[in-house]
Structure 1
């Protein structure tokens, strides 16, 4: 098998693949010390939310993900059809990992089935109780159940077990084949019924590392640490999103049909997507696949017609299955909506938006490839919402996503034709087929009894569903099930019952269900609850043990976050708010003006740069000792941090294990989950010029180029050339290049690529915790901006006297008042016109992306008044 150059499935299509370590250069790259501080866990969304419902708390700001001082405007998205998507074979990038992994709780895998299907259980014993799977010794962070089972360990190793054929199907679908390949290849050891490891996976090898998995009935989907999607298994309806080969003749390529499949777990990624979207979430239905990008967009392929009606030829003369494999961006119905997670059932799928809206859509499939008699009567398309699975009365065809009315949720799950959500207060609602714990119209969301703050089971935090079974995990880690629950739990139950047989010393953190079995991720009982200061999963804890070992719950009587040291009992404080960047955007000016307010006090160091420099935690706490003594007398006082490298510094370089899959926003959120975050953004062209003169005069950094407009031009051109060379590399992305070159010459250029770093913070903190300020707006409307900042900080409005004093504050002191710096900076000429054009062209796509992230109609920096020559 030509696994590292071409898979057997790709030979027939001519798609060339490049191994991760292509010669000595690839190996050297991974030994680069910078890579130790670049890896990836976002602290929000899926697995964190399983233990902390607050993770999905959202405000009324429509889809922005953050508050803004620039007016939000509708930003229409155009439909991207198959004809608009370029064919592209995507190679393994020679770049460091990017940020795509949610914070997780690692644990052991237990399996439970409502029947005696031994293959999917991954253990020798059957019985009706949950049991630990065999062979997997490492802790596991991600699981997926379909017609088979998948698991990913803490080191990214992929394990698979269960059936490897497609001979099931129940009432229809394609004719089964004996080697559909959903377990993947090459698979090391173990019979099909026991977990086997996929060779070459995991971050202890020179190949690829998985962070998430999804399982359809006969196909599998993986997400690696670079945000890329892998697929393998049956491809009869194009669910792999790429070509396969015939089972009977591996020299014949195919994109659909009963014998079409590809068992190779390889860098043969989904086809025909240009510019390699950065994916963060995946889901697999019976015959289709979904993937969510870091920007909240949804791509789909396989037998899923939702949002795909405009794909040329797809519905011409009936269903054209040969076009199903083409990935399509779903836009209709999702305009200005940021999707955070998605789940796929047999006949429909459901998504959760950043605002907590539940969005559903029909797949058009009946779960059997359109082969059921009632579907054939409608031209091969299942009537949408036939069993109420969409949770709403249809106002359209059902082939576009629609919002379930009057409902906010923090978690979702889809079954065969049912939907399950966790709503406010930890209640559970469901709709769709089979009633399953509820009485009423199937298309109406109704509450499932027993869940909530004062209910028998307590608050729900996580849901999962299989074909005819629903499962809920509560905040105490208990597992409740109803529907078809097996003889051990009472056969068929209309109301939730506590799942029997789980170990008493373990609690459930996550689960995945499909067909007739579930995978449960169990952690040791007593693991701290996620979402409180110091209460994080082991990934985050291991990245900064010196911090979390000291933390105790914050004092509730104080506005500022202060805690009593776990060992000494001394009151220690952290900043209430943080101006995290960006340098040379007016951050010091804002900080000094805020100090005039009666409730804000100064620390020993305005910008200690604790998170991006090498200092012990006690050193950082000592900086805030003034507030520790002051809050005893006035509980309303707060203190801030204005370390302006925090926004762009992605690594956790000095704490814990250097190669942990963690980024900085995830760690900071673990320490301070309620912190207020302020970001100041300036025209990146002017910001870079200002930084050149400031740091050049202060530290003599740019003597080789000279402190002049011509010197800046030469330095800027070298920086742009270095970044462009990286961006043109095979498989590279803006994010990976920014991480790789951040410590090099282009650092100041990279700091202006705001859209690369903003999603990390947007994902780590709720939208009501982040305020983005356009520096131009701040300068033009200083008083109004200051009052807006105070309102954001939930402090009293500044008095007229305070405003007068704020506007008189001279922020420039210290280094800026240094005679050397002052004299040097006074010589600064206007930027060359050609330099400004060069940088404006480089930043244009990032400015456009920032406007989309912020839901701004457009982003026009105030360049009209700039002096150029």
Structure 2
């Protein structure tokens, strides 16, 4: 068992490698995490079976994805809007969730348990591309990377060939043919990159961006950035808003460019590319470029205008190396190697939709990067950052060298994985590591019927643990309700969401609360703007009370008049 002190100091015991998160991905309202022992966990909205646990119920905490055998060891995970993918160490791909556009790799309905994608079985990359070399033609196909976005799925094999299926751009046979999409029910290779190796790929709702080697194999700074698909917002970075059915080089990241791209991410209609200056270089410094839709500030360029060409994001720390970047529908989040996390876009970079926006002077879209602190001003950086993943309106980061998860943003349906279903405007800890599968299964059955505990032959200690867990669930539900109530009241008074850092230190230390003393302290520390807001709130509240008293007094006078008039003789 890991040991922690009350002040959150580092663990003193040896960590369990099985609890280490090595990969993270997020869909519209669900998250997938890959642990060090090759297992996949999911949480959030369960509609369409996207969690892969055999049901469509929401999960507020990480639960294991149910596979046909425990022998599978997974290497990667990917999430589309409503579907999920996992890559096993034998090169096999497993899919589950929404399948209206055949993004699971077969014709048919949705599935709530992982299903093997057998579309690769009879295919060979080089044979499909018409290579005559007998030696290369015998090279067995093995998928080495997967990606998903919107309603499409992508894979890269060990020979650098890109495969795609689901709702994909339909290749046109002539310049006059109208750009369109088609549902592809099994993986097909992208022939345009024959003679090159696709190293990394990302996709939005209807566009794809790939980093491809300039030569036959990837060597150092030789990657070239290609884009194709829908371009109605300029998300392809090609200088216009004309859609492309086939890949085209983005000139800013061409072979002749001084910038070497090394990572890429796509939002619904915008794109982010991370680059380094090509060798020779003295330092490892990243440049973040964005293009596409900018209505909600998701480009981080200080405006809400669309950008048809890549533009540098200003306001990020200088001399930083960015280790991870991801996009939600309308927000972007980036992580530096030193643990700084920056976000921009809809609702202060949280990605929250307007119907759940918070009130006060801090609301509104962030058109420039805002730093997201790990634990307030005292601890602004995330220790040992690994990866960030953005859903439609939530963000998850794995840090502490892979052993801790934080999340923030929209929390409905348990998307944040903290055991609750409420929004969080600041990073909150995901409940990780999860309970064991055996314990979770026992909990689900036994707490509903105590007699089942006896039938299962569970010991006395296990019984206590099971009932303690059920009591913890009830307490979490009550806590969530109280937090929502406190947040509404705090927001009305101070114009910003409630955060646990707002709780007075003496209340945390002593457990008592002198409201008169705290009110005096609060007024003493408040600035002019806060005092004016309190004054306005008090006036409105007092005015409402007086108005209600007046209305009730009038009702009483009317009632008395009616009674007296009815009792008068005519």
TM-score, normalised on structure 2? 0.54
CA distance in 2, matches of 1:105, 1:203: 31
Indicate yes or no: 2:43 matched with 1:112: yes
| Alignment-derived partner of residue 67 in structure 1 | none
Q: 1:396 to 1:414 in 2, by over 3 A?
A: closer
CA distance in 2, matches of 1:468, 1:395: 18
CA distance in 2, matches of 1:353, 1:212: 21
Return the offset for 1:303.
Answer: 1.1
Contact 1:106 1:141 in 2 (8 A): no
| Alignment-derived partner of residue 193 in structure 1 | 112
Q: 1:358 to 1:346 in 2, by over 3 A?
A: farther
Indicate yes or no: 2:392 matched with 1:467: yes
Indicate yes or no: 2:329 matched with 1:329: no
Contact 1:307 1:331 in 2 (8 A): no
Query: Which of 215, 221, 245 is residue 154 of structure 2 equivalent to?
Result: 221
Return the offset for 1:193.
Answer: 1.8
CA distance in 2, matches of 1:139, 1:502: 18
Q: Pick 1 or 2: higher relative contact order, CA cutoff 8 A, min separation 6.
A: 1
Indicate yes or no: 2:70 matched with 1:144: no
| Alignment-derived partner of residue 189 in structure 2 | 269
Secondary structure in structure 2 of the residue aligned to 1:263: strand
Return the offset for 1:420.
Answer: 0.7
Contact 1:163 1:183 in 2 (8 A): yes
Q: 1:216 to 1:112 in 2, by over 3 A?
A: same
| Alignment-derived partner of residue 260 in structure 2 | 338
CA distance in 2, matches of 1:223, 1:201: 12
Return the offset for 1:279.
Answer: 1.1
Return the offset for 1:118.
Answer: 4.6
Query: 5 Å matches for 1:383-394?
Result: 384-393=293-302
Contact 1:427 1:459 in 2 (8 A): no
Indicate yes or no: 2:425 matched with 1:489: no
CA displacement 1:730-756 (0-9 Å, x = unmatched): xxxxxxxxxxxxxxxxxxxxxxxxxxx
Query: 5 Å matches for 1:816-855?
Result: none
CA distance in 2, matches of 1:493, 1:343: 24
Return the offset for 1:296.
Answer: 2.2
Return the offset for 1:149.
Answer: 0.7
Indicate yes or no: 2:290 matched with 1:361: yes
CA displacement 1:577-612 (0-9 Å, x = unmatched): xxxxxxxxxxxxxxxxxxxxxxxxxxxxxxxxxxxx
CA displacement 1:342-370 (0-9 Å, x = unmatched): 1111021112223442433333xxxxxxx
Q: 1:162 to 1:505 in 2, by over 3 A?
A: closer
| Alignment-derived partner of residue 227 in structure 2 | 300
Contact 1:431 1:444 in 2 (8 A): yes
| Alignment-derived partner of residue 405 in structure 2 | 479
CA distance in 1, matches of 2:388, 2:192: 34
Contact 2:227 2:250 in 1 (8 A): yes
CA distance in 1, matches of 2:420, 2:140: 43
| Alignment-derived partner of residue 134 in structure 1 | 66
Contact 2:275 2:287 in 1 (8 A): yes
CA distance in 2, matches of 1:395, 1:346: 16
CA distance in 2, matches of 1:204, 1:257: 26
**Structure 2: which 5+ residue stretches go unaligned?**
1-19, 24-34, 125-138, 213-217, 277-283, 352-361, 438-570
CA displacement 1:27-61 (0-9 Å, x = unmatched): xxxxxxxxxxxxxxxxxxxxxx9879xxxxxxxxx
Indicate yes or no: 2:206 matched with 1:280: no
Query: 5 Å matches for 1:53-132?
Result: 107-113=38-44, 115-125=45-55, 126=57, 127-132=59-64
Indicate yes or no: 2:324 matched with 1:400: no
Return the offset for 1:436.
Answer: 4.9
Secondary structure in structure 2 of the residue aligned to 1:130: strand
CA distance in 1, matches of 2:328, 2:228: 19
Query: 5 Å matches for 1:39-58?
Result: none
Return the offset for 1:208.
Answer: 2.4
| Alignment-derived partner of residue 547 in structure 2 | none
Contact 1:122 1:195 in 2 (8 A): yes
Contact 2:235 2:271 in 1 (8 A): no
RMSD: 3.6
Contact 2:404 2:432 in 1 (8 A): no
CA distance in 1, matches of 2:195, 2:375: 41
Contact 1:157 1:203 in 2 (8 A): no
CA distance in 2, matches of 1:142, 1:255: 36
| Alignment-derived partner of residue 734 in structure 1 | none
Contact 2:164 2:190 in 1 (8 A): yes
Return the offset for 1:214.
Answer: 1.2
Query: 5 Å matches for 1:736-747?
Result: none
CA distance in 2, matches of 1:271, 1:203: 18
Return the offset for 1:185.
Answer: 3.3
Indicate yes or no: 2:271 matched with 1:349: yes
Query: 5 Å matches for 1:632-643?
Result: none
TM-score, normalised on structure 1? 0.36
Q: 1:148 to 1:243 in 2, by over 3 A?
A: farther
CA distance in 2, matches of 1:149, 1:50: 17
CA distance in 1, matches of 2:245, 2:262: 24
Return the offset for 1:300.
Answer: 1.0
Secondary structure in structure 2 of the residue aligned to 1:282: strand
| Alignment-derived partner of residue 416 in structure 1 | 329
Contact 2:102 2:165 in 1 (8 A): yes
Contact 1:350 1:361 in 2 (8 A): yes
Secondary structure in structure 2 of the residue aligned to 1:410: strand
Q: 1:309 to 1:279 in 2, by over 3 A?
A: closer
Q: 1:269 to 1:326 in 2, by over 3 A?
A: same
Return the offset for 1:474.
Answer: 1.1
Return the offset for 1:338.
Answer: 0.9
Secondary structure in structure 1 of the residue aligned to 2:302: coil
CA displacement 1:153-172 (0-9 Å, x = unmatched): 1111011111111xxxxxxx
How many residues are treated as equivalent by the alignment?
Answer: 344
CA displacement 1:119-152 (0-9 Å, x = unmatched): 1111124332221112254111111101211111
Query: 5 Å matches for 1:564-643?
Result: none
Determine which structure has the larger strand proportion and give its number: 2
CA displacement 1:446-503 (0-9 Å, x = unmatched): 1112169955963432110000000011124211111112353241110111112642
Query: Which of 68, 92, 96 is residue 157 of structure 1 equivalent to?
Result: 92
Indicate yes or no: 2:366 matched with 1:446: no
